[in-house]
Structure 1
Amino acid sequence: MSKKTNIESFTSTTHLTHLLNTEIVLAKKLEIYLKQEYERLDHIEKFINVIKDEIRQAQRNEDYYFGNPVNAYLFIKHLTIDWNNIEEILPTDFAKDITHKWLFPTFEDYTGSAMGLMRLQDTYKLNTSQLANGDLSSKFKSKRLSALECYDLGRVAYTNGDFYHTLMWMQEALDHLDTETNNTSINKIDILDHLAYATSQQGNVEHALAITKEILTIAPDHIRANNNKFYYESIINNRTLAKQKRKDDTDINESTNLKLISTISNIKNYTINNERSNDDLEEQELYEKLCRQNGAQLSPKHQAKLFCRYRHNNHPYLILQPVKEEKLLEKPAIYLYHDIMSDSHIEKLKSLASPRLQRAVVRDSTTNTFKPADYRVCKSAWLRNEDSPIVARLSRLIEAVTDLSMITAEDLQIANYGVGGHYEPHFDFARKIENDAFSGLSAGNRIATWLTYMSDVEEGGATVFPLVGGHLKPKKGSAAFWYNLHPSGEGDRNTRHAACPVLIGNKWVANKWIRERGQEFRRPCLLDPMA
């Protein structure tokens, strides 16, 4: 406690009157402190109520709760942004106890989950209002996002230079703010400021000017808005001058320009341009369209070549229990094998892999190194045959079904997908332009892929083949198989495939990539490069 300044007072009544003034001032200061303390405690109490409500909904049904991407995003935001804000108003010792003893998601987790929501929005054509109001599908509902939560999503997009989503989410934040009473968590000017810049970057200068003027009606001295107003007006005036010049009309004066600008008053009068930017938007849209389908769209001619049958290959492992084989595509030949693994075996593999899960990495062909990538969002772990009899049994089963050697095959990769988890279109085989990506393993290229589905997925999460229209919906216990290489050893480009974003559910898969070495007599090479 700090030392107080003291004076002798009992010997003078006049000094006591001075001390009364001191107590009056101190009482007012104490009242202010008490009010601030009540506000702080009220903030903490509201936060505790949010935690209790979240725990109540999630406990005993965690997979279902977090299978909803909005719930998952809000939970990660809660443990990063919200807890960080609470930490700042907690006593120092208590705050240190929290940060030093407990694990929390990172800011990258927060931004990644936000971008996952936007990926779902694009892939499954979810209207922004639809997603913000929790209407993910007819079967699954989630919490309605507040104006602040919509703003936070827009901020993530803004920070990443994604003005396509910034525009949509800032507009949604504005719409939600208009319906929320006594909302002090977000300032309307902050929303308008981001919205104006995002819409200008999407080519809507007139719209940006109108929003900027709205900011100035609220805060006339807003420095950035005043500067932007001048900037947008200059662009519009220069554009008008250029248009008039093309018409060879040189009789244009300043008053005409000012009149043009003054007519911009109603934001809703504009047709807003807001197009996605993507290096290969055509393939992206084809892939997303296929993700939205319930199954492969094949012609009757192609469907006639498909079949279902029991298969045993005259292999001792399958004589008494042949596998259920379904041919899903003709070229490339893609098969689905049903009831490959029991639920109990799947749960054992998941429990074995869970503590080993790490963020999946992909190879960077320019640096010949592996690193995390936005186009593959999941965590994975590798299991060897020696790790469990179940892993060894699956390897034996794959060899029996495919008649390919597992001696040079890669270990079993177990993967679990996160919020909007996906893997964009790719090849499993290494192409020649990739500087012999798999030469270090001395086992050749990936001749074939075996993909076991270890969970059902309520919505989304399909495996699709964009070039041929293939669509495989995950089915727990089933496995897909296809050759990545032609018998000549050349890569089959029709095997380009993707894992669609998981809309609702928890997706687990087990990948087994089979290599060329050891298959020389099991799948003989042919001279025809495309055979």
Structure 2
Amino acid sequence: MKTGTSSVPFDPTHVTQLSWRPRAFIYKGFLSSDECDHLITLAKDKLEKSMVADNESGKSVESEVRTSSGMFLQKAQDEVVADIEARIAAWTFLPVENGESIQILHYEHGQKYEPHFDYFHDKANQQLGGHRIATVLMYLSDVESGGETVFPNAEGRLSQVQDESWSACAKNGFAVKPRKGDALLFFSLHPDATTDTASLHGSCPVIKGEKWSATKWIHVRSFDRSKRLNRRAAMGECVDENENCAGGAKAGNAKRILPTWWVLEEKEL
């Protein structure tokens, strides 16, 4: 139930382009204050140490490059979450089923996430909906000092004007300050589906206060369908993407699910 939490209508006039390399956009007031507080409430008692994907195995492992705590909501967990997921799909033009569940993150004093890519280096994760095309990072709280999102390889890293209110970490690239309710959208792939090294990004250490954020990762094809197929394959079932399935892929029934506005090279999927 919404329990009185107000929903924000999608309004593209609130979007500003920040960079073309990487392609990055900020949406001022993407979430209402009530929505931010609601997401924090859903997560507060369920936080665990954040993990990273191992580049070789693709498995989630602990690492000092990421010192926050977090948890994943369920898709459409309640009406508020479902509204936010639909708003993200409307903004990005990417289907809801291509997205992972929203991850809520909490950063306390000194906690950070070193610069990294959201696309994958291992084949295991690429099987689950392909590479991540885009990331929507929603800021659920203001941060007194630090906590900026920084892009060390961005084209605007040398031209952005930064005063003393920016942290030393933020001055290592093009940076975005966390503002409650704002959302940052950036793309990890070029329009031709090649990976964009300019999308390298990190979360600067929190210097004063705390930082709450919510992340939605979006893939090139249905993440939900890929997870279902993987579960069925793990149980020994024959699925239509398996070339050994009688009447399946050999009959041409295996189809990749892609956003219609993305033209992707087969080798990248």
Give TM-score, length-normalised by structure 1: 0.37
Cα distance in 1, alignment partners of residues 259 and 31 from structure 2: 29
Per-residue deviation at 1:369?
2.6
Question: 1:464 — aligned with what?
Answer: 150
Larger RCO, structures 1/2 (Cα 8 Å, 6+ apart) = 2
Q: Is the 8 A contact 2:109 2:209 kept in 1?
A: no
Q: For 1:503, what is the secondary structure of its paired residue?
A: strand
Q: Which amino acid aligns with 1:473?
A: K
Task: Please name the residue that 1:342 is paired with.
Answer: 32
Please point out which of 48, 51, 56 is paired with 1:358.
48
Per the alignment, residue 183 of structure 2 pairs with: 479
Letter in 2 for 1:499: S
Task: Report the counterpart of residue 14 of structure 2 in structure 1.
Answer: 324
Three-state SS of the structure 1 residue aligned to 2:216 is strand
When structure 1 is superposed on structure 2, of 422-431 and 381-390 the one drifting more is 381-390
Report the counterpart of residue 427 of structure 1 in structure 2.
Answer: 117
Give the Cα–Cα distance (whole angstroms) in 2 for the partners of residues 521 and 392 of structure 1: 23
Give the drift of 1:404.
1.0
Which residue pairs with 1:174 in the alignment?
Answer: none
* AA of the residue aligned to 2:90: A
Q: 2:137 aligns with which of 451, 455, 477?
A: 451
**Residues 351 and 323 (structure 1), Cα distance of their counterparts in 2 relative to 1, 3 Å cut:** farther
- Of 431, 434, 438, the residue aligned with 2:125 is 438
Corresponding residue for 1:489? Answer: 193
Q: Give me the whole-angstrom Cα distance separating, in 2, the residues matched to 1:387 and 1:401.
A: 20
Given that 1:377 and 1:418 are in contact with CA atoms closer than 8 Å, whether structure 2 keeps it comes out as no
Q: Residue 346 of structure 1: CA displacement? A: 1.0
Closer/same/farther in 2, CA of residues 483 and 322 from structure 1, 3 Å limit: closer
Task: Name whichever structure is richer in helix by fraction.
Answer: 1
Equivalent residue runs for 1:72-221 within 5 Å: none
Give 1:385 deviation, angstroms.
2.9
Structure with the larger strand share = 2
Q: Deviations over 1:176-214 (max 9, x none)?
A: xxxxxxxxxxxxxxxxxxxxxxxxxxxxxxxxxxxxxxx
Residue matched to 2:246: none
1:510 aligns to 2:214 (yes or no): yes
Change (3 A) 1:367 1:403: closer
d(CA) in 2 for partners of 1:379, 1:331? 29
Provide Cα deviations, 1:493-513, integer angstroms capped at 9, x if missing partner: 000011100001110010000
What amino acid is aligned across from residue 377 of structure 1 in structure 2? T
Partner of 2:75: 385
2:73 counterpart of 1:411: no
Tell me the amino acid that sits aligned with residue 519 of structure 1: L
Deviation, 1:367, is: 4.6
Matches of 1:500 and 1:367 in 2, distance apart?
27
TM-score (norm: length of structure 2):
0.72
Q: Equivalent pairs: percent with the same residue? A: 34
Larger Rg: 1
Partner of 2:248: none
Amino acid at match of 1:365: N
In 1: Cα distance, 2:58 partner to 2:93 partner: 32
Structure-2 change in CA distance of 1:362 and 1:473 (3 Å): same
Shift in Å at residue 345 of structure 1? 1.3
CA deviation map 1:450-486 (0-9, x unaligned): 0001111111110011112211011110000011111
Output the amino acid matched with 1:447: I
